Chains A and B, each alone.
Chain A
Amino acid sequence: MDYSQFLMMPQEIGLLIVFLLVFIYDTFMPARAQRFLPIFTTILFAIYTAFSFIPCQMGELFGGMMETNPATWVMKCILNIGVFIVFLQAIKWTNEDFVSVRRGEFYELILLTLFGMFLMISSRHFLLFVIGLETASLPIAALTAFEKRHYESHEAAAKYIFTAIFSSAIFMLGISFVYGMSGSLYFNDIANALSLISSKSILLFVAVAFVIAGVGFKLSLVPFHQWTADVYQGAPTAVTSYLSVISKGAAAFAFLIILVQVFGSAYHQVWEWMLYAIIILTITIGNLFAIRQHNLKRFLAFSSISQAGYIMLGVIAASTVGMASMIYYILVYIFSNLAAFGVIAAIERQTGKVTMDDYNGLFKTNPWMAFTMMLAMFSLGGIPPFAGFFSKFFIFVGAASTGSVAIYVLVFIALVNTIISLYYYLLVVKAMFIRQDECAIPYIDSHWTEELGMTISVMGIIAVGIASNVYTFMSQISDSVIHIFHLI
């Protein structure tokens, strides 16, 4: 065996080293040193994140089962930044009394799920992909049940685990049909075999539908979105923020790779129209349900459903432009959502309040937090100078670049939905700035780590929007992996 190929996956190896060090620290260090475990993990992860930006040798590993290329490298770097912010915002929470006994598990499970997502992103073989998918989704059920005292946490975990198993069963059934048709599980071999099959084949149709359904559950696209709001509400806020950005971003990228690289020859006949219907449903229903939410975590759950619909616009474009805009969208979405969740987590940790009415008059008592939340909402809604506007703009351009009239209609529907979404994002801003309340939330003395996390997110929201070379860089990256799209 050629061991030098491990040099092509330095991000995975580095992540495993971080995990092992955290595990050893958690297991063998004395009880009084345990207090520093969160800060130790965060610093270690920061060092790792910094090193993961170094470009490395890229190529195929393990006989073609795995591939690292510039796009997977950028995607993993983005996920690393997001996880770093999640860790920063969780430090204070994991040091509280009732969580502190199990705080090591929180960090270890998150690092392991991140490893699973890395496998999902760079796998080019369905066995490796399924292993990555399960590694990425099963520990999240354990993390959701983390708040042992709270009933909601357990109910959310039960709902999550059942839907996760159900969706992975459907996904694997789809793969078994693909295997029956093509005789291989390698992405490239399947693609070659499928391009010989007539795209009117019913078996192919069923297989693609099952694969879309299976990954659609992870992404919470609309017919498969029922678990999202309950799980987001019941899970601890740190886990919710992780689930809503990192998990979704990784799944979206892997979804693009599967649809384009494996089923690319069936693009026009089979999955373009499935995805078309799913996107319209996802954006519209996500928006309409978000309007009637009062709990902010449920509110952000429905907002994240509709954001997933926008991310899918980059997939339906099935071109390098679409891929670049999707990666850019995920980057911006990570910063905006983590800023919002940072504020929610800090307020919930000290006061236990999560409904929108509790935020009345927040600007008077906590101006900086209200300001952060406002920027996050503006960015999610897509108001100009912030990054959210540019990400929406690029993803519409990416989808419209296919040139078909149907996609123009789709982009128009998405545009109308953006206006609807502005309404409910501004409801939060209105509650904080305009409404007054006698018993507004008192001044919250947030921990410096939480402040640092929010600051990084806000800097991201502003800087990524202003610095135009970020998008240029993304489009260079996706132009360099044009071989993925050779079937379209």
Chain B
Amino acid sequence: MNLTLLMYLIPSLIMFGCGVYGFLTRKNMIAIMISLELMLNSIDINFVVFNRYLFPGQMEGMFFTLFAIAIAAAETALALAIIINVFRIAKDVDINKINKLKF
């Protein structure tokens, strides 16, 4: 494994870790959404880097990234629509207040 590959892979994994950390600790739904975006984008970086440095003769990772970006956009749109609905009915996007369903 060469050094250039690691120089891209390690920041991408740190980015994923930041996303997971944000997803677990943030209380605002919009901030959770941003953390999820971080995770999805770090996966895109992973695919592109693997493709560029390990398998330069083909394009499969690049194609996967293109589709993953489109899927991430769809996910964000839907999640934001749901957050807006929650805000309309609960007047809040704090997940500590959205806790009526439990046990």
Residues of A in contact with B (beta carbons under 8 Å apart): 126-127, 130-131, 134, 138, 141-142, 145, 148, 151-152, 154-159, 161-162, 164-166, 168-169, 172-173, 175-177, 179-180, 183-185, 229-230, 233-234
Contacts and interface: CB of A to CB of B under 8 A. Distances in A.
Contacts of B55: 183
**5 nearest A-B residue pairs (beta carbon):** A176-B46, A169-B39, A180-B50, A230-B101, A183-B55
Given A156-B101, A169-B39, A145 B85 contact: yes
A180 B54 contact: yes
Given A127-B64, A151-B90, A152-B101, A173 B83 contact: no
Given A138-B78, A172-B68, A155 B39 contact: no
B86 A154 contact: yes
Interface of B: 16, 19, 23, 29, 32, 36, 39-40, 42-43, 46-47, 50-51, 54-55, 58, 60-61, 63-64, 67-68, 71, 74-75, 78-79, 81-83, 85-86, 89-90, 98-102
Contacts, number: 111
A185 B60 contact: yes
Contact of A155 (B78, B81, B100): B100
Contact of A157 (B40, B75, B85): B85
Given A176-B47, A180-B46, A145 B68 contact: no
Contacts of A148: 85
28 contacts: A127-B63, A131-B67, A131-B71, A138-B75, A141-B78, A142-B81, A142-B82, A151-B90, A154-B82, A157-B86, A158-B98, A159-B101, A161-B78, A161-B79, A162-B23, A165-B75, A168-B75, A169-B39, A172-B40, A177-B46, A179-B50, A179-B60, A179-B61, A179-B64, A183-B54, A185-B64, A229-B101, A230-B101
A184 B47 CA distance: 11
B43 A141 contact: no
A126 to B, nearest CB: 7
A162 B89 contact: no
Given A155-B98, A173-B46, A134 B90 contact: no
A166 B36 contact: yes
Contacts of B61: 179
A127 B63 CA distance: 9
Contacts of B47: 176, 179
Contact of B89 (A151, A159, A176, A180): A151
Nearest to A137: B75
A142 B43 CA distance: 25
Given A130-B71, A134-B75, A161-B79, A152 B64 contact: no
B40 A162 contact: no
Contacts of B40: 165, 169, 172
Select the residue from A151, A152, A176 with max chain B CB neighbours within 10 A.
A176
B89 A169 contact: no
A155 B101 CA distance: 8
A158 B36 CA distance: 13
Contacts of A173: 16, 39, 42-43, 46
Contacts of B101: 152, 155-156, 159, 229-230, 233-234
